[in-house]
Amino acid sequence: MHVSHDPTAPASERIGFDAFLAVDIRIGTVVSAEPFPEARKPALKLVIDFGPVIGAKRSSAQLTEHYTPERLVGRQVAAVVNFPPRQIGKFLSEVLTLGFADAAGAVILFRPDHPVPDGSRLF
């Protein structure tokens, strides 16, 4: 399945509410970020703390256009925490960090506009 980043693309087909609830989107705080020069597309390696139940998880994220590792540490981000891990080169990405494409296609992170407890679930 291809997901379009084009803001003029039509909405996807309708799904039931249970399908939405099956996607577990949580808030976590970035505790470390470093360059990922081995990735095919420019990316960063993140470690995100999702609180005591889920814990710290790793993510590869194509964020290099608008973010530096230093700017990300301490920042809350949203991620899907229940997809299977994905091997990206020698790095195992455990969660999918969420963002939107800007007008040029670069990723802008999705995050709450006020702090929430790490591990909070989107509903």
Question: So what's the pLDDT on residue 1?
Answer: 45
Exposure b/e, 82-120, CB count within 10 A at least 16 = b: eeeeeebeebebbbbbbbeeeeeebbebeeeeeeeebbb
Q: How confident is the model at residue 3 (pLDDT cuts 50, 70, 90)?
A: low
Q: pLDDT (tens digit, 9 = 90+) per residue, 26-68?
A: 999 999 999 998 888 889 999 999 999 999 999 999 999 999 9
Boundaries of every domain in the chain: 26-109
Is the pLDDT at 2 greater than 60? The verdict is no
Fold for 26-109, please state it.
Answer: OB fold (Dihydrolipoamide Acetyltransferase, E2P) (2.40.50)
Instruction: Kindly state the DSSP code that residue 30 receives in the 8-state scheme.
Output: E
